């Protein structure tokens, strides 16, 4: 495998800006340091036109083969934003950073091309987005449901915040589930705690535990 | 078998799962078999859905931290740590260095107990039950230390947004060091029983192969990727917690055992060597741990108010025992986050099963499936329980059925 040169986060953004120009809607770098020395880790966030998704991922593969983590998504009301989260330069000490490509799809046209021809491992995440956001991934080699059971209603997408999301009647609140009332009485009646008796009130056990 | 319409032809379809004694976790496999040999594999996760992300998007971040503890029983800290790190970045909360070190120590103890648990499961899948007992007995030491530090064996509840909830006192240090010495003395013995045993070698060498290229293309992570020679380890690649101050290198299968081949045996080696690495990291952290606060803000109302105002998006990622664990959080000035996406480590590793299992024998399926250390409760965390529909039995209904059966049996007596 040929090693491509290492590039800094700013260099990556510059490369994308020169290649795609106005197709890059927004690009920024965030940094975070922890520990005593506050050694910095970097994340790149690139918002781009929806047509540029595959060229952008191909470009990243030319820079260095990335690790694909997951596709996250936001329901923004009229649009759904998909975030393709990848990381590049793993294997370089403290030199890896996350690259996130964000693209917006209007709810009238929720289609996105598959990237499994470039990175086959993205399949599970694409299947998940189809069932949880109601997005159509065109060219997906396997479009079955992934996590949701087969008898889950069609047209309900758990992560949507509009009328296609989870309906209130589908939610079973655990606190509202009472104990069954049709149980037979226990053969030996339960003892009622005697006031002032430490054994019955469980106080003795507590002190025993504390002295351990 | 009796009807004429049942076609008897190769390949035969063999379903295994979703719950099967040979599988460590619930997942439905469908194998196309030709004699004893696996021709193709299909799997369906999703049998342990609890809809945790959906629940989280209706709760505040402090409540979610405790929810993340319950995503997985083994990875008790990685999810809460990833989530807390994401929220801290959004709200621009500076974690005190001492808290970073305590997080690191807990993170490594978790790796020790998780890898030992896996070693036991692997031994059991191979039919080597005395080794299974040994691995799990040895694991108890780390569980005791985790209990000593956090108060719990599982669901540690030590991570809070902005730091940790419990400090490590000077009284606890000798106990921890004693535990580390115990493991140092045992490691050679563990390596000897696992790596010099001819049975284990016969069963694991050259089985469940995952090539370097496949590991990259299928996005494998953690020990699964490292056993195939992919040098990736978030602790080395991407500074977080105390790892920016330490010198951690990804563990690859060493040359003396034949170099990275990407088989089950290499995955055993990587995990065993990582236990030794974790012991070193804990020792380094204990030696260099700075003094000071452990929480950014002790007052809960102030913390909640800060979190309510926070706006933005961030990624928190850590190296879990099984590989990269990542949480994406987006907050828009409301109490609950607008988006919370959990990417557990097994989520990335499941696809590796397909090349691993192809061409293997039926009897090798359990150990190969277990070799990526799958964690289905992490991967499947998303769905909504729908009460009352035809295919579903709620817990109460199930309990009632069970009680009915018990009564029926009593009457038959």
Q: Which of A39, A43, A69 sits opposite B239 (nearest CB)?
A: A39
From B224-233, B234-243, B354-363, the region with the lowest mean pLDDT: B354-363
CATH assignment of the domain containing A155: 3.30.460.80
Q: Residue A124 and residue B351: Cβ atoms within 8 Å?
A: yes
For residue A197, being part of any structural domain is answered with no
Q: Identify all chain A residues contacting B396, using CB atoms and an 8 Å cutoff.
A: 177, 180
| Residue B292 at interface with chain A, using a CB cutoff of 8 Å | no
For residue A3, being part of any structural domain is answered with no
> Which contiguous run of DSSP H or E holds residue A74?
strand A67-75
Question: Does residue B387 surpass a pLDDT of 60?
Answer: no
Confidence bin at B390 (pLDDT 50/70/90): very low
The three-state secondary structure class of A152 is coil
pLDDT of residue B108: 95
For residue A212, being part of any structural domain is answered with no
From A198-202, B10-14, B158-162, the region with the lowest mean pLDDT: A198-202
pLDDT of residue A198: 54
Mean pLDDT of B370-392: 59
For residue A209, being part of any structural domain is answered with no
For residue A202, being part of any structural domain is answered with no
Angle at alpha carbon of residue B10, lines to B6 and B15, rounded to 5°:
75
How many Cβ pairs within 8 Å bridge chains A and B?
Answer: 174
pLDDT of residue B50: 81
| Residue B317 at interface with chain A, using a CB cutoff of 8 Å | yes
Q: Residue A65 and residue B216: Cβ atoms within 8 Å?
A: yes
pLDDT of residue B49: 76
Mean pLDDT of B345-349: 90
For residue A46, being part of any structural domain is answered with yes
pTM over 0.90, yes/no: no
- Residue with the bigger pLDDT between B230 and A196: it is B230
Which residue of B340, B384, B398 is the best one to mutate when testing the A interface, meaning the one whose CB has the most A CBs within 10 A? B384
Query: Which residues have CB under 8 Å from B203's CB, separation 6+?
Result: B126, B264, B364, B367
Question: Does residue B338 surpass a pLDDT of 80?
Answer: yes
For residue A65, being part of any structural domain is answered with yes
The structural domains of chain B, ordered by start, are: 52-379 (1.10.645.10)
Range of the domain at A113: 9-180
Buried b (16+ CB within 10 A) or exposed e, B328-345: bbbbeeeebbbbbbbbbb
Tell me whether residue B71 is exposed, middle or buried, using C-beta atoms within 10 angstroms of its C-beta: 0 to 12, 13 to 18, 19 or more.
buried
Q: Residue B238 and residue A147: Cβ atoms within 8 Å?
A: no
Cα nearest neighbour of A73 on chain B:
B339
From B30-44, B89-103, B240-254, B368-382, the region with the lowest mean pLDDT: B368-382
Number of domains in chain A: 1
Instruction: State the smallest CA–CA distance between residue A36 and chain B in angstroms.
Output: 5
Question: pLDDT, tens digit, for every residue of A188-198?
Answer: 776 776 776 55
Confidence bin at B327 (pLDDT 50/70/90): very high
pLDDT of residue B379: 66
Q: Residue B237 and residue A96: Cβ atoms within 8 Å?
A: yes
Q: Residue B326 and residue A146: Cβ atoms within 8 Å?
A: no
For residue A186, being part of any structural domain is answered with no
CB A122 within 8 A of CB B219: yes
Question: pLDDT, tens digit, for every residue of B166-200?
Answer: 999 999 999 999 999 999 999 888 889 888 888 88
pLDDT of residue A149: 84
Q: Residue A90 and residue B231: Cβ atoms within 8 Å?
A: yes
The three-state secondary structure class of B32 is strand
Q: Identify all chain B residues contacting A122, using CB atoms and an 8 Å cutoff.
A: 219
The three-state secondary structure class of A165 is coil
Question: pLDDT, tens digit, for every residue of A80-111?
Answer: 999 999 999 999 999 999 999 999 999 999 99
């Amino acid at each position: 495998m040929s090693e491509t040169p290492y590039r800094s986060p700013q260099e990556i953004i510059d490369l994308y800006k020169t290649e795609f120009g106005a197709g890059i809607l927004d690009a920024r770098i965030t940094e975070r340091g922890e520990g005593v020395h506050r050694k910095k880790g970097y994340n790149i966030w690139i918002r781009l036109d929806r047509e540029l998704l595959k060229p952008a991922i191909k470009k990243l593969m030319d820079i260095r083969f990335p690790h694909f983590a997951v596709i996250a998504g936001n329901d923004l009301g009229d649009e759904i934003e998909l975030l393709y989260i990848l990381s590049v330069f793993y294997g370089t000490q403290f030199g890896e950073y996350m690259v996130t490509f964000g693209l917006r799809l209007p709810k009238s046209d929720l289609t996105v091309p598959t990237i499994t021809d470039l990175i086959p491992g993205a399949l599970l995440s694409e299947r998940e987005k189809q069932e949880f956001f109601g997005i159509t991934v065109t060219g997906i080699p396997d479009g079955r449901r992934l996590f949701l059971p087969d008898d889950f209603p069609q047209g309900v997408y758990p992560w949507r915040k509009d009328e296609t999301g989870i309906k209130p009647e589908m939610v079973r609140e655990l606190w509202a589930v009472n104990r069954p009332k049709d149980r037979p009485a226990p053969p030996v009646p339960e003892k009622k705690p005697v006031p002032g008796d430490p054994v019955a009130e469980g106080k003795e056990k507590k002190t025993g535990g504390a002295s351990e | 078998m009796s009807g004429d319409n049942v076609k008897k032809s190769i390949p035969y379809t063999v379903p295994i799962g979703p719950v099967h004694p040979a599988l460590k976790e619930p997942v439905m496999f469908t194998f196309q078999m030709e004699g004893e040999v696996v021709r193709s594999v299909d799997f369906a996760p999703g049998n342990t859905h609890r809809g945790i992300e959906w629940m989280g998007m209706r709760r505040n971040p402090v409540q979610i931290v405790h929810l993340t503890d319950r995503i997985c029983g083994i990875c008790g800290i990685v999810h809460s740590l990833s989530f807390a790190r994401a929220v801290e970045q959004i709200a621009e909360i500076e974690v005190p260095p001492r808290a970073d070190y305590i997080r690191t120590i807990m993170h490594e103890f978790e790796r020790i107990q998780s890898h030992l648990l896996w070693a036991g499961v692997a031994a059991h899948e191979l039919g080597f039950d005395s080794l299974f007992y040994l691995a799990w007995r040895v694991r108890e030491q780390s569980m005791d230390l985790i209990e000593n530090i956090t108060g719990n064996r599982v669901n540690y509840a030590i991570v809070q947004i902005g730091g940790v909830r419990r400090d490590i006192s000077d009284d606890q240090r000798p106990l921890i060091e004693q535990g580390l010495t115990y493991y140092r003395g045992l490691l050679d013995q563990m390596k000897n029983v696992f790596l010099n045993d001819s049975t284990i070698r016969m069963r694991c060498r050259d089985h469940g192969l995952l090539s370097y290229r496949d590991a990259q293309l299928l996005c494998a992570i953690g020990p699964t990727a490292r056993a195939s020679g992919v040098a990736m380890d978030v602790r080395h690649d991407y500074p977080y917690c105390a790892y920016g101050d330490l010198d951690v290198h990804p563990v690859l299968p060493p040359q003396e055992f034949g170099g990275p081949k990407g088989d089950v045996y290499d995955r055993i080696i990587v995990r065993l060597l990582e236990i030794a690495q974790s012991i070193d990291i804990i020792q380094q952290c204990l030696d260099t741990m700075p003094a000071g606060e452990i929480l950014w803000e002790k007052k809960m109302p102030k913390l909640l108010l800060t979190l309510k105002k926070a706006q933005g998006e961030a990624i928190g990622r850590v190296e879990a025992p099984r590989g990269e664990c990542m949480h994406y959080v987006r907050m828009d000035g409301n109490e609950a986050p607008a988006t919370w996406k959990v990417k557990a480590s097994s989520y990335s590793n499941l696809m590796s099963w397909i090349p691993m299992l192809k061409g293997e024998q039926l009897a090798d399926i359990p150990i190969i499936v277990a070799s990526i250390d799958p964690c289905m409760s992490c991967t499947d965390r998303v769905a909504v329980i729908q009460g009352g529909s035809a295919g579903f039995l709620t817990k109460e209904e199930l309990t009632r059925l069970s009680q009915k059966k018990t009564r029926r049996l009593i009457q038959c007596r």
